[in-house]
Structure 1
């Protein structure tokens, strides 16, 4: 099994398209006014947004995008006017993360984890 895509809700499709293009995603489908889909610049996964009348309540959606040059990417985005809630910081779970919100309040985490993404020291042992 392989993860194909994640879809998040949006109140304003055009504003969301601009935001995600600024992050570096490539717009591959634009079915205005209800849906847009992006290709991630690395790997084979995609990301989409769909128009909703109301956003979910509570903690909402959290989406992680891995960036090998995290600090450089964050600085590039800051110069393009993107605001971050948290600048890059090393986390106890051995990932370096920066956090921001998209125009709809969805939590976006840009991170770099290297080997620890799939193989942290506390990973469960493989079955025999």
Structure 2
């Protein structure tokens, strides 16, 4: 499986915030379009052209120093998960469906950075 067969690009960047209302207002002022969540939500998605910026208040279960995560779109998240776990890479959980219409899982790179891999629900090849 080559990179071009698996990876479709960076889907989104998720940033941690202590104040969702302040963060949503800030990014809307910058011209980002709110698509999911909002000032009272614990998770929000805003768009700048074709790129998503997620905001999260994951303070309860996030690791110390949590900054956010990079999210990569793959052609088939279940097949990708199977291939990397077979290769010995540990993931935080098996792929699951999210209410924001993605199937995804997380893992940490060797330096502890959180990475997420996703496929939009209904978009498997």
TM class, shorter-length: 0.3 to 0.5
Higher relative strand content: 2
Rg larger in 1 or in 2?
1
**Normalised by the size of structure 2, how large is the TM-score?**
0.46
Q: TM-score, normalised by structure 1?
A: 0.45
